[in-house]
Every structure is written in C-alpha cells, then in structure tokens.
Structure 1
Amino acid sequence: MSSRHHVGRIARLAWPLLVGQLALIANGVIDTVMVSRFSALDLAALALGVSIYVSVFVGLSGVLQALQPTIGQLFGAGRHDEIGDEVRQGMWLAVFLSVIGALVLMFSPLFLSVAKASPELVEKATLYLRIEALALPATLFFRVYSALNTAIARPKMVMAIQVCGLLLKLPLNALLIFGGLGLPAFGGPGCAIATTLIAWLMMLAAWLLVARLPVYRPLKLFGRGFVAPSWKTLRRLLWLGIPIGMSYFIEVTAFTLMAVFIARLGAVPVAGHQITANVGTVLYMLPLSIASATSTLVAQAIGGGNFAVAKKIGNAGIRLAIALSVLVGLVVYCLRGQIIRAYTPDPLIIGAALPLFLYIAFYQLFDSLQVTTAFVLRAYKVAVVPTVIYAVTLWGVGLGGGYLLGLDPLGLTPPNLLGPAGFWLANSASLGLVGIGLLYYLRHIQRRWLNAPA
C-alpha cells in the first residue's frame, strides 16, 4: 500500500481525536474565563490548583496509556476475546491509581505550602483539589474507555461524549461559580464541582454504551462475573505504563517549570510567556492526535504480523505530523500580532510576547517529531529508553540550558536571548534532541522487528 493510503487512514482516525482534545482544552479555558469574572483570589487559587491537579492526572493517565498498544496489538491479531481481560485489568489499575492520586490531592496543603501563598489562597486551592479528587476515579475510568476505543479505531464515540461534556460545562459552571436556583456562589471551587459532576456523567455514559452496543460484544467485556486483579497482567501493564506516565510527567514539568523561573523576571515577561505557551499547547493537539492515530494503526499492524506495513505507517505518520505542524506554525507566526492582541490589549505584554512567536514554527517542528515518534515506539511496547531520553534532554538541556540562557547567572548570554527567549530557545533545542534521539532509536526497533523470526 502507498504512503498516501496510510496518510488517509491516519487522518480519518486523527480528526475525532483532535476534536476531543480541543474539547478538553476548552473546558480549562471556560474555567479560567468564568472564574476571572468572580474574583482575582479565586482565579489565583484555580491556577495554583490546576498546576497540581494536571501534574497528578497526566502522570496517572499516562500509566493507563499502556492499554492502547496492548489492545491495539490484540485487535490487529484478531484475538478479540482477550481484549476484555485487558480492559478489566485496566479498570483495576484505574482503581489503584485513583486511590494514589486522591490521597495526593486530599493532602494537597503539604504541596501548596511550597508556594508560600496567603492562607486564603491556600484554603481555596485546597478545596478545589479535594473536590477534584472525587472526579479522579471517573476521569481515569473514562481514560480506559478512551484507550479501548482508540485502540480499536473507534474514537468518534469518545469525541461525542467529550463534546457533550463541554456543552454541559458552561451552564453548570455559571450555576455553581456564581450561584443560582437556591445554590450559593462557590467561586473557583464551583468549577471543580461542575468538573466532577460532568466526569461521572461522561464515565457512566461511556460504559453504558459499552454494555449496550453490539460492536463491543465480540470483545467479551461483560458477562464474566467478578474478576479479581491479575497481578501478572497488572505488572505487565505497569512495566509499560510507568515509563509512559513518567515521560508525560517530565514533559509537563519541563514546560510548567519554565513559567516558575520566568516569574522571577516580573509580571510582564511571564504574561508574554504564558500567551505563547497557551498558543503552543493548542497547536500541540494536532501532532498529538496524529501521533495517537498512528500508534493505533502501527499496533494493529504489529498484532497482525505485518511488520513492514507497521514501519510504513509509522513513517507516514511522522511525516504527516511534521508537515502539518510546520505549516500551522508558520501561519501562526505570520498572524502573531492579531493572535496576541486577541489575548491582551496591553502594549507591554504584546511587546514581550511578539519575539517569542519566532520559536513557534521551530517548536512545532521538533514537538511534532518527538511526540509522533514516541507514540510509534509505544506501539512496539517500547517506553523505558525514550523516558531516559526525555529526562536527560528536557530537564537537562531544556530547563538547565534555559536557566543559563534566560537568567544568565554566568553573564555570558547575548541580550536578545535574556529572559523568556532563552528558555524557549533551550526548550526548542531540547525537543529537537529528543526527536532525533527517538527517531534514531525507532529505526533500530523497526529493523529489529523486521529481522525477527516469524
């Protein structure tokens, strides 16, 4: 089959994933916009709470990401009756991870004390995180459903539920943040209550569809009665999932810690960085969706024993992600003035953000390369070496280099790289090194599979 055929398959699978990811981001945007109209204290508490919750959720959901290549290979091999066992063990894994995550969120004052914020701010953020702890089991159970549907190339059902959840977000937020219908105004914690209610509704809708729709019956997900945890299966999932979760955590912290360091320079530089980072996050959803779709099709080809096809699909997905991301990055750079002014009318912040958009095109090139290659490697159930590459480059070169360039403790940085520009340059360079390292390792893995005995 031609590369064009594989690109078409990837695109058909990627667009529902993209819509679903954008719906998730829109939830966060709605929270920020609505809470900002309630009070500055609640907005600050929301920002503090979200930074902790996202780190916990991303790490734990990354562990569950091990289900996608596992189920994808079984589906490609036609071993549909074994998928139900993996999903049930995935649910047990979600239970155990929920307990760990909920404990972290419930004892959040220990982490919030590091921020040295005011008691009122800590109290609000603590309440937000403790409410979100109730949402965590539902979001992780939904992640299992999402992994199942993506692995069997049916992401439209996930997208539909995510979009419905987004439609519920606005009215529930308005009711719970500002009060109404006899309910008091909860402020920032109100959006956490809305998130929790929606998370449980989404999870119940998802598994009700699994129980009712005939498309899931060959997978034998139900009808086996109570199934105890299989420690052998859970260990196998954790062996793949923990490195994936760690790589997600490294990516998130490498990005969020940039803001922590840049905050030392004052409000204007950090505001300019935040606008650029927000645009970069939205753009990242495109290669992330392509990466997930490519990984699914590669895993199915591996499961079917079509290793040459798996290589072609992986390479096609990487090329597609790079081409589209660079194109979008260039368009964003050309429209940078209009985009920044949509965020803020402040000329100082506009002046701080404008030079950072130079890095968007380069950043998208390297980001699309690394995320797509990493997902293809996960389809081969390879995650340990990529995680080491992430840690060394993103923390070492990205954060370490950004600190040396942006804050200039040695007095060697050129003036045009002082501040946020130095951090963005170092982070872009680190992503480039990650992408090159992962691509080299992928070539080694592909050759090994092609030369392996049948």
Structure 2
Amino acid sequence: MNWTHYRALLTLGIPIVIGQIGVIILGFADTLMIGHHSTTELAAASFVNNMFNLAIIFSTGFSYGLTPVVGSLFGQGKSHAVGKALKSSLAANTMLAFIVCLVMGILYLNVGSLGQPEELLPYIRPYFLVLLTSLPFVLWFNGFKQFTDGITDTKVSMWILLSGNILNIIGNYLLIYGKLGMPEMGLTGAGVSTLISRILMVIAYLVLFFGTSRYRVFREGFKRNALDKAEFKLLNKLGWPIAGQMGMETASFSLSAIMVGWLGSTALATYQIMIAVSQVCFMMYYGMGAAVSVRISNFYGQNNLVSVRKTANIGFHIILAMIVCTSIPIFLLRHQIGGWFTNDQAVSLMVAQVIIPFLLYQFGDGLQINFANALRGIADVRPMLLFSFIAYFVISLPASYLFGFVCDWGIIGIWMAFPFGLTSAGIMYYLRFRYKTRKEL
C-alpha cells in the first residue's frame, strides 16, 4: 500500500526536516541580529556566507557518499560493516577538510581582488578566518550524521542540530551585541559563536558513539577493523561526484553573489536576506530528500526496485505539498519580510521585488532535490556531474549575467536565471532515474 510508504517516509524524514529547521532558524537569527547591528556588516556577511556555503555544501555532498553504502549494508543487516564504513568516511572527510581549508585559505589571501565594496573588507576578513577554523568540524559532523541517518536513527542528528543551533543563537546575542559582560564583536562575534557550536556538536556525537551502549554493535565494527582501502576508494568514488554536483549548484548562487556585489551594498544586503529566505525552503525540502535517499538505499540493498521507484515518486509528492505550504505565506508576506531583517527601506523594497523570481524556481528546486537524492540512493552519481554543469554553468550563470547586466534588470535579473538552472537540472535527474530503474527492473 502506498500509504505505508508515505507513513514510513514521513516517519524517517520529519526528524531530518526538524533538524534542518534548526539550521534555518539559526540562519534567520544570524541575519536578523547582524542586520540590526549594521547594514554594512549584513552585506559583508552575505559575501562571506555565500563563499562558505559553497565550501560547506560541497563538503556535505562528499559525505553523502556514505548514505548509499550504509543504507545498503543496514538493509542487509550487516551492522559491523556499517561501523567499518563510518571509519572510512571519517578518514575521507578529514582528507577533504585539509583540501577545502587550503582552497579557502587561498581565497582569503585574494579576497581584496574580487571587486567587493572597499568598506566591507575590514568586516569580511576576520569573519572569514573564524569560519575557516570551523570547517573541519562541519565535515566530521557530516560523517556522523550520514551514519545515523543511514541506519534510520534520524532523531539523533535532529536533537544535536537543534541543541547546537540554540547555543549558537544565544552566543550570537551575547557576542554580536556585547551582553552579560561579553565584548561587542559584531559580525566577528557571530563567527565565534558558530565555531563554538560546531565544536560542541562534534563532541556530542563522539560521546554518543563511543560512550553509550546505543551504538555498541557499530562501535565494535569501527574498532575491530583497520581502515579499509577499498572502501575508502569507494566512498571517494561516490563522494566526489555528489560533492561536484552540489558544489556546482551552490556555485551558481555563490558566483551570482559576486555579480550582485558589483551592484553595491544595498543589493548585496538584499541578496543575504533572500538567501536566508531561500534556505527555509531548501533545507526543508532537502530534509525530506535525505529521507528519500536513505529509504531508496535500504530497498536497493534488498534488490526491491519496485519500492525504489515508489519511494522516489512519493517523496516528490510530499515535497510538492511542502512547496505549496511554504510559497503561499512567503508571497503574502513579501512586503514585510525585508523589514524583519533591516530598517533600510531600500533593501526592504528590493526584497519584495526579488521574491517573485524566487517563487518561480521552487518547483524546479523540489524536483532536482528529490531526484538527485533518489540517484544517490541507487549510487548512480557520476552522470549528475554533467547534468549539473549544463544546468548551472551553461544555463544559469550565463543567464544571470545576461538578465542582470545585458538586459539591465539588476538583482531581479540575476535571480530570474535560477528557475532555468534548477528546473533543467531536475528534469535531467528525473529522466536519468527513470531510465536506470526501468532498465534494471
């Protein structure tokens, strides 16, 4: 019965979505607090956060290579092998942390050459360095999260994310505004709070995994087995294409942020607010998409391809319902949203205008999220690299420049490109998934 699949997917996915909502609330709180402290700092945060969003989502994509491995092994009841896979994943994520930190360090040394407003650089540089320090903890957290999600224990990451983000919000208030005897650090204070919360979330996972009976059977597999080179290679084989696919999607937004910076601080502050709004939808859809990937990997490990296809279709139905539930209030509140983040009337007016192209790409975003995760669940990840390149670098980025600067539509034109990129990616992922699952039935 389809209702059984709906119920199982919602049971698995809702804790992931709630955990993602915690991330959303943090993004809103960051943007609200920084915006009310200074519009200049809000613009600086927009630039830095978009650069780090690219690094973090690329790294998160890499860690998703663990999901089909763990999901398939768990579906077959091989608990010790799951623990061994986690060990390989943490080693691979540590390797990637070194590479990503090196790349971001080079970017930091050249940040003054990217055409951003001169008045933002004194705020950009210290905030950038603090977030750079926190990057390895993001990757280690991702490794543990994909492990617990893959064994369908999704409530653990939910509680750790919610707790960590609550601490982050409290730290933001204390350090941005200088409350309870703390120094008033502004934007840099937001970065320090983020660093502390990311460290604590990794510690929470370490305590749970190594110090409780809950994961004993997986811990035995982790401890008994040496690092498996073949599995390490497999995780890299799966992880790099996923990282590339997600990285190219995020790059289309991050590189567009550089274009927005050419339009000035007002446009950049608007962009940061819209990214915060966009993440509300993206993170919720992605939470359900992650559940689709886990369920599909479990069924794929059991060679149950009928349920694989059914899960993908049901996941998209649920995401479509989520799109409707998020888009209607955002449209109705479009004239008020900007004022939640800043008192600058020019920014608020620009936000209301940009919300229209934002709403236009929600269907495409939901489509690509669902079927990208479906393809990850069956470990068919390499073709997504080509599809992403076409959607984001051949279609979306050139369209951003065309609409924004050649047609002179400004920030609205830059955002008008996203519906074309995201929808084309979604269609290509859907067609690939349908082809692969029909071929194997």
TM (norm. structure 2) is: 0.90
Does residue 427 of structure 1 match 2:381?
A: no
Amino acid at match of 2:370: T
In the TM superposition, residue 292 of structure 1 has moved relative to its aligned partner by 0.6
Deviations, residues 59-118 of structure 1 (Å, cap 9, x unaligned): 122111101111011111112221011000111112212222333344443231323568
The percent of aligned pairs where both chains have the same amino acid is: 26
Query: What SS is found at the alignment partner of 2:152?
Result: coil
For residue 399 of structure 1, what is the aligned residue in structure 2?
397
Matched ranges for 1:161-180 at <5 A: 161-179=160-178
Aligned runs of 1:363-378 on 2, under 5 Å? 363-378=361-376
| 2:131 counterpart of 1:140 | no
Deviations 1:404-433 (A, max 9, x none): 22322xxxx5xxx83333333332022221
**Paired position in structure 1 for 2:151:** 152
Q: Which has the higher contact order (CA 8 A, sep 6+)?
A: 2
Equivalent residues in 2 for 1:156-305, closer than 5 Å: 156-179=155-178, 184-221=183-220, 224=223, 228-267=226-265, 269-305=267-303
Structure 2 CA distance for partners of 1:381 and 1:23, relative to 1, 3 Å: same
2:36 and 2:341 in contact (8 A); partners too: no
- Please tell me whether the aligned partners of residues 67 and 294 of structure 2 are also in contact (alpha carbons under 8 angstroms): yes
Distance across 1 between alignment mates of 2:93 and 2:178: 33
Cα distance, 1:420–1:376 mapped onto 2, change above 3 Å? same
* Partners of 2:31 and 2:276 within 8 A in 1: no
Which residue identity lines up with residue 285 of structure 2 in the other structure? P
The whole-number CA distance in structure 2 between the counterparts of 1:55 and 1:375 is 18
Query: Quick one: structure 1 residues 223 and 263, their matched pair in 2 at CA, closer, same or farther if it must change by over 3 Å?
Result: closer
Residue 360 of structure 1: CA displacement? Answer: 3.8
- 1:344 and 1:303 map into 2 onto residues whose CA distance is 50
CA contact (8 A) 1:83 1:220 kept: no
Distance in 2 between residues matched to 1:399 and 1:57, nearest whole Å: 20
Instruction: Quote the Cα distance in structure 2 between the aligned partners of 1:329 and 1:124.
Output: 33
Q: Distance in 1 between matches of 2:129 and 2:266?
A: 32
Equivalences for residues 295-444 of structure 1 within 5 A: 295-343=293-341, 348-408=346-406, 413=407, 418-444=409-435
- CA gap 1:108/1:354 in 2 versus in 1, 3 angstroms: closer
Which shifted more, 169-178 or 368-377?
169-178
Whole-Å separation in 1 of the counterparts to 2:132 and 2:414: 33
Letter in 1 for 2:100: G
Paired with 1:102 and 1:127, the residues of 2 have a C-alpha distance of 15
Tell me how far apart the structure 2 counterparts of residues 118 and 431 of structure 1 sit (CA, whole Å): 29
Aligned residue identity for 1:423? I
**Aligned partner of 1:315: which letter?**
N
1:68 maps to what in 2?
67
The alignment status of 1:111 with 2:110, answered yes or no, reads yes
Superposed CA deviations along residues 17-71 of structure 1, whole A, max 9, x for unmatched, are: 1121121233333333334455566555444432332222221221111011110
Counterpart residue identity of residue 419, structure 2: S
Higher mean C-alpha displacement, 150-159 vs 132-141: 132-141
Out of 347-356 and 138-147, give the one that drifted further.
Answer: 347-356
- Partner residue, 1:447: 438
Q: 1:83-122, aligned counterparts within 5 Å?
A: 83-116=82-115, 122=121
Distance 2:432 2:230 in 1: 28
Contact conserved, 1:77 with 1:303, CA < 8 A, in 2? Answer: yes
Q: Return the offset for 1:298.
A: 0.6
Gaps of at least 5 residues in structure 1 are none
Structure 2 CA distance for aligned equivalents of residues 262 and 170 of structure 1: 28
Amino acid at match of 1:259: A
Contact 1:108 1:129 in 2 (8 A): no
Q: How many residues align?
A: 441
Cα distance change, pair 222–239 in 1 and its aligned pair in 2 (3 A): closer
Task: Flag structure 2 segments of 5+ consecutive residues without an equivalent.
Answer: none
Relative to structure 1, the CA distance from residue 361 to residue 48 in structure 2 (aligned partners, 3 Å threshold; closer, same or farther) is closer
- Bigger CA drift: 338-347 or 2-11? 338-347
CA contact (8 A) 1:106 1:129 kept: no
- Structure 2: distance between partners of 1:117 and 1:358: 26
Structure of higher CA gyration radius: 1
